[in-house]
Structure 1
């Protein structure tokens, strides 16, 4: 039996950074391609959205095939920035060494996507054994060659940005899949041996690299972070409900959306946050429940996410807990409502087709 991708895996649209611009550069319409995978340009540019990892993988593979660009992952991976990591990229700027920055990303990458993890081997300075960072897709994630090559490029860019070396010399790149088309661009980009059909996807480098001081930790960036946090605190003073709602939307899918975590982010004591919310005749529990209700109703009616994925995105421990909450809100089960919406849409489609042919 063929193994299908696990629909519980998600990623942020930032994973696809550069795809819209690349499509424009080769005069290819992106919107119809996105629609095949239940995506839109608006979702692609929404900093708070999350999308199925399988949709991101399928989109890259389909674009590469139909646009006849087998090196699409490398093309997108050449973009040198940390924007694709979103807020997760901030932790790198608070690290002293390249190794610390890499470990910080390793510990927080699940906020960006839960479809893979990073394995870091520091190597040995004494024996000159290479250090490495491996990109390891989780079982049944459905990860394809384009996503692997894009991710390896971004690991390289991350090492280059944190170390401050524009043309960083690495020792070797290993890729699990077989070559796809000409790999001339990959050889040029990495400027080292690129070996295919290997046991894992990894970049190998001088073991001294992880001990190097990171160049992206500086006082200028620290002040930006402090100003951002101050702005959040000031906004919390003026409208704590709005901020709590926004943070709830951002944190629910990470599994760390609690009253205490939001209070900590706002530099407030949990009891202080609770008191200020009560002053507005609400509470964290009510705000969380309202957000879940609104998103669940929207997502169950749509076709972008499976019910298991909706449960995960809304921070429920399992699908049964989500179903119980949905029944409390609507008096019906999410499975029943989705089936009903699909039947209604199908009947509307048949009616429209009949109307056009008569």
Structure 2
């Protein structure tokens, strides 16, 4: 499950890509990300595809520091509701610990942590996968977002002692210095900001203890829902793929960059299966179209990925106990009665 990230990681991508002379829709398609991903920031996307998008964007824009500049453009908006918890923490140290504790709600593919080393602190961004093409772009984006967060929390008191990057320089050192006001140390053990440990004790003027408790309780409830999200995500993909024909677990697993066996195992842990989700999605779509559309049964069968109308009819009979024609007739009759009742009341 670690390959996933909230679509909010693409906050501001459309505007930033356009400012670089890029076609955001074309680049999303090239990275094999859904065309509507920028419209639903709470949906999940593949982290690998996100990293690939950054890499492609850097190449197409001829900006070797695309990720770095994009992160400065994004700022803290990328964190969504998590930022409200952070800003209402008692002090900077608590805010950063909140970020580390709940970062997995924002991104499962990476972690944020603070490491106190004597008089210094490292604010680290780490991914388990270290061999992704374009990962340096994602790391520099994260470091830029981290800088914007620290400026938000500390204002002019944010004066880092250094910045560490695990990769080699992507551009000349002056470009980094202009962007971050500090020259990075490359090929380091960490991707991290280095700063004075005393800053952790800085109180936050925006702190509201009661609001912080409410927000923490809300995020804890979201945390409990995380394990239930995979089936919903698979159903979301099924709804997108079905209009293009028959959908297999191999297709969905390939999109998610998992093996079909791994996907099936994840679903089994949630007491479901690919076939169960496919049936549920088909049933939901079938009843919706039969209720609200004049689409023919043959067209509907094709839309749901059935090769023959008879196969769809047998499946529908299994779901509802009656044929699609009978179901449509019954529901059409019920809607007519409701309309007559509404008309009568108005008169």
User: Which bracket does the TM-score occupy, shorter chain normalised?
Assistant: 0.5 to 0.7
Q: Which of the residues 295, 314, 318 maps onto 2:266?
A: 318
C-alpha displacement at 1:321, in angstroms? 4.4
C-alpha displacement at 1:192, in angstroms? 2.3
The Cα offsets for residues 46-101 of structure 1, whole Å up to 9 and x where unpaired, read as 12211100011000011101210001112112236422011222220231000000
Higher RCO (CA-CA < 8 Å; seq separation 6+)? 1
The Cα offsets for residues 203-244 of structure 1, whole Å up to 9 and x where unpaired, read as 10011111101233259x959x89xx9xxxxxxxxxxxxxxx
* Pair 15,311 (structure 1): closer, same or farther in 2 beyond 3 Å: farther
Instruction: Specify every segment of 5 or more residues in structure 1 that has no aligned partner in the other structure, as ranges.
Output: 1-6, 230-247, 258-287, 333-339, 344-358
C-alpha displacement at 1:153, in angstroms? 1.1
Q: In 1, Cα distance between the equivalents of 2:173 and 2:260?
A: 38
Cα root mean square deviation, aligned:
4.0
* Pair 80,47 (structure 1): closer, same or farther in 2 beyond 3 Å: closer
C-alpha displacement at 1:320, in angstroms? 3.8
Q: Given the two structures, how large is their TM-score scaled by the length of structure 1?
A: 0.64
Aligned 8 A contact 1:73 1:147 in 2:
yes
- Report 1:143-154 matches (<5 A): 144-154=135-145
Q: In 2, Cα distance between the equivalents of 1:193 and 1:121?
A: 21
Residue 236 of structure 1 is matched in structure 2 by none
Residue 56 of structure 2 is matched in structure 1 by 62
The Cα offsets for residues 262-305 of structure 1, whole Å up to 9 and x where unpaired, read as xxxxxxxxxxxxxxxxxxxxxxxxxx98x578436326647683
* 1:85 is the counterpart of 2:85: no
Aligned 8 A contact 1:299 1:305 in 2:
no
Q: In 1, Cα distance between the equivalents of 2:53 and 2:7?
A: 12
Aligned 8 A contact 1:162 1:216 in 2:
no
Q: In 1, Cα distance between the equivalents of 2:139 and 2:267?
A: 30
Bigger Rg, structure 1 or 2: 2
Aligned 8 A contact 2:25 2:35 in 1:
yes
C-alpha displacement at 1:150, in angstroms? 0.7
Shifted more, 167-176 versus 303-312: the winner is: 303-312
Aligned 8 A contact 2:11 2:74 in 1:
no
Q: Given the two structures, how large is their TM-score scaled by the length of structure 2?
A: 0.66
The Cα offsets for residues 162-217 of structure 1, whole Å up to 9 and x where unpaired, read as 22x14721001111111112242321232223111112211100111111012332
Q: Which of the residues 109, 122, 126 maps onto 1:132?
A: 122
Shifted more, 92-101 versus 136-145: the winner is: 136-145
C-alpha displacement at 1:13, in angstroms? 2.1
Q: In 1, Cα distance between the equivalents of 2:91 and 2:7?
A: 28
Q: In 2, Cα distance between the equivalents of 1:311 and 1:153?
A: 37
* Pair 292,324 (structure 1): closer, same or farther in 2 beyond 3 Å: same
Residue 160 of structure 2 is matched in structure 1 by 170
Partner SS state of residue 52, structure 2: helix
Instruction: Specify every segment of 5 or more residues in structure 2 that has no aligned partner in the other structure, as ranges.
Output: 242-246, 281-303, 308-347
Q: Which of the residues 195, 201, 208 maps onto 2:198?
A: 208
Q: Which of the residues 256, 263, 281 maps onto 1:306?
A: 256
Q: In 1, Cα distance between the equivalents of 2:265 and 2:82?
A: 23
Task: Give the number of equivalent residue pairs.
Answer: 271
More helix by share: 2
Q: In 2, Cα distance between the equivalents of 1:137 and 1:177?
A: 13
* Pair 185,117 (structure 1): closer, same or farther in 2 beyond 3 Å: same
C-alpha displacement at 1:255, in angstroms? 2.2
Partner SS state of residue 122, structure 1: strand
Partner SS state of residue 42, structure 1: coil
